[in-house]
A and B are shown apart, each in its own frame.
Chain A
């Protein structure tokens, strides 16, 4: 299993990069941060797509389709709600 080593390197580097980058996110934006990372980790939709489209067995197609649904709901919902929230953050509110 030669790829395991490189996978572990990738995981560790990504985790440290994540910790460093996310530490700098202003607490102001912690809710959008959560919805954005949630949308990003819904990248598991690609694995689900491969299951749903490869026609291995009925079981794998059914589970794959359900997984595509669940993950893609997060992709669509996650990015949309993040944008909806970020649009609201304004430095100066409109004066009445």
Chain B
């Protein structure tokens, strides 16, 4: 056996062993193919989140008693571990409630007085598209669209619309509809060449591949804890210091200021400037535990596992007569996420029957990306989405394929 093959096998994920870390898999017996919506949580994360309530329960950065200090230490060390996981510094990480809030923070707080355009794509999740559309509706900014090719990839020829009037290029890392990545390197370069900032929606990217915020070159990167084995209710906005300084205040309140009088407010610098009020300490601690968990498994291993699963998933779907896959069928261009339809069976029906027949959890509809699904040629009722993660196995894909074969014969 060649040495590289042996190394790959050694490094491969043992999904069967990992599954024992996820209590829900054992208690529900579900084949969970809905990780793009939210992932399951390993026991380590659940325990870490509970540890805040069991061992601390206080607020950070305000009081000076021992429980408060312990909370502060845990909260800030969590910030550091999460930032490190994403290749950033702790000062670059703002805690938010989720990706949606992080994206809103940037789109709604940026100054558009000098540059009016926000460039995005039709493939974006509503969390990004709607704040931009709202800015346009209010007359604050104008929205411009990059082109999308029939295979779901970005038309790089359309990058030329990024010009000196562009304030922000807001784009996905990986879409939640096709699992395909945007050509971020080229987009970041085009944006920076034009003097525009870049906001990356990393909700479907950060959980599935190694992220290095520094190397990415983007000005902002948003992601959620719950899509990467972390708790719900916690998200992050990574930002470069100079980029944060271009943002106005968003939600203001306790701990966002240095001093305040009725005449003048002196705001803190990021990240505290954007973290108003008591924070989700338990969520931050849980997310840090999730980052540690994923690091122990190895993000490269997860990415490799997902590519392998994507190939099997696509082959399984392609073998069903009358099936259609949205986006490129090339697994090397995807995470383990496939949106598809079966001829003659409504997407909701497919998902409901998969659950009834084989306890397979799928998502159906337009996946909070109605415009994107239309751009991909999906019908009004959308499609079915199977999205896998580190805990999914070949056996589950086989069961999925059998169930889909049966449903397709309806």
On whether the two chains bind one another, the answer is no
Q: Chain A: residues with CB nearer than 8 A to chain B?
A: none
